[in-house]
Amino acid sequence: MPAHFFITEDGQDATRYFAFEGQFATALVSFITGERSEEFIQAVEETEVFSIAHDDFYRLLELIPQWEKFYRIYLEIAYVTNTKRLMSFLTLDAKEKYRRLMEDSPHIVQRLSNKMVASYLNISQETLSRLKSKL
């Protein structure tokens, strides 16, 4: 399972996304723009990796209509997912972020370390430990 993360100015991981079985892991902004990515992708469990060159990917979009439909749906899901995460960072406190994570994606808490979960929620490990003990 890959984790997508950034490194903050103080050297800490800021996790954006975990790709579980059957999901894609890509630095999409970099793939689309061709710019160097500021995002890292690291396997945190055994992972099978497939890759495709940018030009080959876009050739598939031209040749196979179903591939273009798949890509459109993927982009729509990525947009909705990223917007919901951004909204949670801007509007929810730590307790509510953790509660929603437990409702929507309990497998993240079950399968990953407290450090990774805290990074994903953008809270400290200490805050996460306090929340876990209260809920």
Instruction: Kindly state whether residue 26 falls inside one of the protein's structural domains.
Output: yes
Range of the domain at 32: 1-51
pLDDT band at 49 (very low <50, low <70, confident <90, very high): confident
Instruction: Kindly state whether residue 2 falls inside one of the protein's structural domains.
Output: yes
Place of tokens 């909204």: 87
pLDDT of 73 above 90: yes
pLDDT of 135 above 80: no
CA distance 118 to 89: 13
Note the pTM of the prediction, 2 decimals: 0.80
Checking 97-104 for CB contacts under 8 A at 24+ apart, the result is: 97/121, 97/122, 97/123, 98/123, 98/128, 98/131, 98/132, 98/135, 99/135, 102/135
The pLDDT of residue 57 is: 94
Task: Kindly report the average pLDDT of the chain as a whole number.
Answer: 91
For 91, list phi and psi in degrees, rounded to 5: -120, -15
Instruction: Kindly state whether residue 100 falls inside one of the protein's structural domains.
Output: no
Instruction: Kindly state whether residue 42 falls inside one of the protein's structural domains.
Output: yes
Number of domains in the chain: 1
Strands (DSSP E) contained in 8-55 are: 13-18, 40-43
The pLDDT of residue 124 is: 92
SS3 43: strand
The pLDDT of residue 2 is: 86
Q: For residue 95, how far is the Cα from the chain centroid?
A: 20
The pLDDT of residue 20 is: 84
Instruction: Kindly state whether residue 62 falls inside one of the protein's structural domains.
Output: no
Instruction: Kindly state whether residue 4 falls inside one of the protein's structural domains.
Output: yes
The pLDDT of residue 41 is: 92
Instruction: Kindly state whether residue 56 falls inside one of the protein's structural domains.
Output: no
Instruction: Kindly state whether residue 6 falls inside one of the protein's structural domains.
Output: yes
Task: Using only the alpha carbons of the chain, give its radius of gyration.
Answer: 17
